[in-house]
């Protein structure tokens, strides 16, 4: 059988002659030209990208705001205002992501709902962010702002935040681009001084400037291993426009700024709302973006964190509930640890009240509860597993708790 001439060889898809194409690839029963290959490649890439995007969005367990708050209530005691703000922000954010992923043209462009929490240490800022990510089933990472510096200086670049998110998403870029980042200790990067200086504020305002493009939404080259230890590594391009950023900080001393602002307008404030008095015990509830600016955050950064919420200081009642009520309550954790040793653990009610009193005395917030419990339970957790035979029950009495706490390092705190 005679071989086909160039005039007879045509692309089975578009019908072009071989002479009109750069490359013609032969198959068993047909041919395909270079142009059709390129077009088919684009179609395959778009289809695979769409399927991956839909699978990522499908894995997000998006609940209604009230349902999100109900889940948060199972792990975080109190802080209803912060929970409601967070639930609405997250719900609207993922509706925005869903709208953009659908590809439908819409005249209304929904903007990001990045938010910032202001609250004393140990009030639940990190726990709220971690719990919301677990509820939604999205990649989540916590970044510490204190280690960040301006590019070119000793420390971590702001891009290292996204390295942790990539690792959390198991290097699935599509999933990471729909994750949540919690930037802790954001108050530590406040502007050090308003006065001009010959030295650069590389860990303060310099970091804030570097965060702007991440919060706003930009395609950033991210080192997958993180840091500058592997300069030869290939950068991964991550688009941050659909990443939700939640910032948190204690903002120690911001109460004075809020008080000064309220006192200045106290006359007009009370004339207009005579039945509303300022609660001095929880003055953080009056925090505003202008207070954050006076504290040292630059206006550009505050503008990219449109939602400002606060966490109430924990009182005795809240600390007492934290000990026993949440799913991961401290007392439940210790009971479970002793159950694994076939020992039934119990606490006197007086012991729980005593732990709360000491946490209030040392002003350590919810984290202080864990430290005090560890000081009380350490010897029991050390000795009981080795006893033969093991006791079937172990009860923590008030005398035992006081004795163990007096023997711990907390005695030095009291002396100080």
- Answer whether residue 297 shows pLDDT above 60: yes
pTM, two decimal places: 0.74
Read out DSSP for 174-219?
HHHTT-EEEEE-GGGGS-S-SS--SS--TTTHHHHHHHHHHHH--E
Residues 75, 156, single domain; the answer is: yes
Average pLDDT over residues 199-221: 82
Q: How confident is the model at residue 227 (pLDDT cuts 50, 70, 90)?
A: low
Question: What pLDDT sits at residue 320?
Answer: 93
Domain of residue 262: give its range: 60-310
Query: Are 341 and 224 within one domain?
Result: no
Q: Which of 49-58, 227-236, 377-386 has the lowest mean pLDDT?
A: 49-58
Highest mean pLDDT among 152-161, 283-292, 355-364 belongs to 283-292
Residue 56's pLDDT is 47
Residues 82, 185 share a domain: yes
- Indicate the range of 66-80, 191-205, 215-229 predicted with least confidence: 191-205
pLDDT grade for 1, boundaries at 50, 70 and 90: very low
What is the total residue count of the chain?
416
Last residue of a domain, one of 260, 283, 310: 310
Examine the pLDDT at 375 and tell me if it is beyond 70.
Answer: yes
Q: What is the mean pLDDT of the chain?
A: 83
pLDDT of 228 above 60? no
Residue 243's pLDDT is what? 92
CA dihedral of residues 294, 296, 300, 303 (deg, nearest 10): -60
The pLDDT tens digits for 166-207 are 988 888 888 888 888 999 999 988 876 655 554 566 668 888
CATH number at residue 339: 1.10.8.60
Residues 145 and 215 in one domain: yes
Return d(Cα 113, Cα 234) in angstroms, integer: 31
Distance CA 282, CA 312 (A): 7
DSSP string, 225-248: T-SSS-TTSPPEEEE-TT-EEEEE
CB 346 within 8 A of CB 397: no
**What is the per-residue pLDDT for 53?**
52
Residue 9 clears pLDDT 90, i.e. is over it: no
Does position 129 have pLDDT exceeding 60, yes or no? yes
Q: Please indicate, yes or no, whether residues 93 and 4 belong to a single structural domain of this protein.
A: no
Report how many domains make up the chain.
3
Is residue 347's pLDDT more than 90?
Answer: yes
d(CA 382, CA 397): 18
Q: Given pLDDT bands bounded at 50, 70 and 90, which one contains residue 333?
A: very high
Q: Do residue 106 and residue 209 come from a single domain?
A: yes
In this predicted structure, the answer to whether residue 405 has a pLDDT above a threshold of 80 is: yes
**Residue 17: per-residue pLDDT:** 86
End-of-domain residue from the set 310, 340, 370: 310
Burial of 284: CB neighbours in 10 Å, binned 0-12, 13-18, 19+? buried
Q: Within this chain, do residues 173 and 276 fall inside the same structural domain, yes or no?
A: yes
Across 103-115, average pLDDT: 74
Q: Is 283 in the same domain as 368?
A: no
| Res 413 pLDDT > 70 | no
Same domain, 90 and 119: yes
Whether residues 236 and 107 share a domain: the answer is: yes
User: Exposed, middle or buried: residue 88 (CB in 10 Å: 0-12, 13-18, 19+)?
Assistant: middle
Per-residue pLDDT at 137: 81
Percent of the chain having pLDDT more than 70?
A: 82
The total of other beta-carbon atoms located within 10 Å of residue 141's CB is: 22
- What's the CATH code of the domain at 184? 3.40.50.300
Going by pLDDT thresholds of 50, 70 and 90, the confidence category of residue 151 is: low
Instruction: Say whether both 293 and 322 belong to one domain.
Output: no
Domain-terminating residue out of 59, 78, 98: 59
Same domain, 81 and 148: yes
């Amino acid at each position: 059988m005679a071989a086909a001439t160039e005039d007879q060889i045509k692309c089975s898809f578009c019908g072009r002659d071989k002479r009109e194409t750069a490359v013609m690839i032969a198959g068993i029963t047909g041919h395909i030209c270079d142009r059709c290959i390129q077009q088919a490649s684009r179609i395959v890439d778009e289809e695979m990208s769409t399927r991956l995007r839909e699978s990522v969005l499908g894995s997000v367990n998006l609940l209604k705001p009230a349902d999100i708050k109900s889940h948060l209530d199972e792990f975080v005691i109190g802080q209803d205002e912060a929970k409601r703000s967070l639930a609405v922000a997250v719900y609207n954010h993922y509706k925005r992501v869903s709208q953009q992923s659908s590809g439908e043209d819409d005249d209304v462009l929904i903007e990001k709902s990045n938010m910032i929490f202001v609250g004393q240490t140990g009030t639940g800022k990190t726990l709220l962010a971690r719990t919301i990510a677990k509820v939604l089933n999205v990649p989540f990472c916590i970044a510490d702002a204190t280690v960040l510096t301006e590019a070119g200086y000793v420390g971590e670049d702001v891009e290292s935040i996204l390295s942790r998110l990539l690792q959390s998403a198991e290097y699935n870029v599509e999933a990471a681009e729909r994750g949540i980042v919690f930037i802790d200790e954001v108050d530590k990067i406040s502007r050090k001084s308003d006065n001009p200086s010959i030295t650069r504020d590389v860990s303060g305002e310099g970091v804030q400037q570097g965060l702007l493009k991440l919060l706003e939404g930009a395609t950033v080259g991210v080192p997958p291993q993180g840091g500058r230890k592997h300069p030869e590594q290939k950068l991964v391009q991550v688009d941050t426009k659909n990443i939700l950023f939640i910032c948190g900080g204690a903002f120690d001393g911001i109460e004075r700024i809020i008080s000064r602002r309220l006192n200045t307008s106290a006359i007009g404030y009370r004339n207009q709302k005579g039945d509303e008095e300022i609660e001095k015990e929880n003055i953080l509830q009056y925090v505003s973006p202008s207070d954050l600016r006076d504290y040292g955050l630059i206006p550009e950064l505050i503008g990219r964190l449109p939602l400002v919420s606060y966490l109430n200081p924990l009182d005795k009642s809240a600390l007492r509930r934290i000990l026993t009520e949440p799913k991961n309550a401290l007392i439940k954790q210790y009971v479970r640890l002793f159950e694994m040793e076939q020992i039934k653990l119990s606490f006197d009610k007086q012991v729980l009240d005593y732990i709360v009193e000491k946490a209030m005395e040392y002003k350590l917030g919810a984290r202080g509860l864990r430290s005090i419990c560890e000081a009380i339970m350490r010897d029991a957790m050390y000795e009981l597993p080795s006893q033969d035979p093991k006791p079937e029950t172990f009860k923590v009495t008030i005398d035992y708790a006081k004795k163990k706490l007096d023997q711990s390092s907390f005695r030095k705190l009291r002396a100080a």
